[in-house]
Amino acid sequence: MKACAGLLLAGLIAAPSFAQDPYAIAPQAYQKQFENEFVRVTRVHYAAHEQLTEHAHPARPSIYIYLKDGGPVLFKHEHGDSGAMAAIRPATKAGAYRIALGRNETHVVDNQSDLPSDFLQVELKTEIDPKTWNGRRFRDPADTATNSNKVEFDTAQIRIARVVCSSATTCSAAIPAPAHSTLQISTGTGETAWLSPGASPGPHPAGEYLLLEFKQGALGRP
């Protein structure tokens, strides 16, 4: 009887979290694109003036990479670490990204703009230093005629570089074989590729990429 009661209690505890799974509640808005022991990447699309019902997100440090210009979005927090409050995410610029600690929160979403909002949420499963994990990065005016590789964020745990490839034939020079496990993201299409240490990146279309290089192993292990 005790075992049955325990199973019932576990089911009751698990049910709300399953019911608030964003992938299940709003599959048109949240699609899992990639996941391994280091990261989970979710492609997010809020249609113009779309309103999403309440759903939950776990407390994970995240990087939000904006794929297109977007307008303000209202997040109404109901439960979790954020408490009961409303917050407006400002308008976004394509190619920019935001680094956030991430909190256990439940909210509804209201895209108040005539523009859709398209971005990737990269949730980290690795350890980070909360004192350094924050900020916004905006792209410089891109010189698409020249290859470039610029480090924009660098800590003991992770390095983020922005790479511009002027042409497919010269892209391998801009994206060398990584020294650590690396997530490669096209800021134009949102496509991702996982690069193992020392692996040849191979041919790439011309464009702009973000390289998220993990200096530590999964869950903080070297």
| CATH superfamily for domain 23-124 | Jelly Rolls (2.60.120.10)
Instruction: Output the pLDDT for position 220.
Output: 47
Q: Among residues 70, 67, 45, 69, which one has the least CA distance to residue 187?
A: 67
Domains 23-124 and 141-220 share a fold: yes
Order the strands of the 192-195 sheet from edge to edge: 148-154, 158-165, 207-214, 182-186, 192-195
Residue 151 has pLDDT above 90, yes or no: yes
Q: What percent of the chain has pLDDT over 70?
A: 81
What is the enclosing helix (H) or strand (E) of 136? strand 135-137
**Which positions ≥6 away from 83 have C-beta within 8 Å?**
77
List phi, psi (to 5°) of 154: -150, 120
Instruction: Output the pLDDT for position 83.
Output: 57
Distance CA 43, CA 48 (A): 16
**More confident site: 131 or 166:** 131
The alpha carbon of residue 27 and the mean position of all alpha carbons in its chain are separated, in whole angstroms, by: 17
Domain boundaries, the chain: 23-124, 141-220
Distance CA 105, CA 87 (A): 13
What's the rounded mean pLDDT across residues 67-82?
Answer: 80
CATH number of 141-220: 2.60.120
Predicted model pTM: 0.83
Task: Tell me the pLDDT band of 3, cut-offs 50, 70 and 90.
Answer: very low
Given a contact cutoff of 8 angstroms between Cβ atoms, the answer to whether 147 and 168 are in contact is no
202: left (phi over 0), alpha (psi -120 to 50) or beta: left
Q: How many helices (H) and strands (E) does the chain have?
A: 3, 15
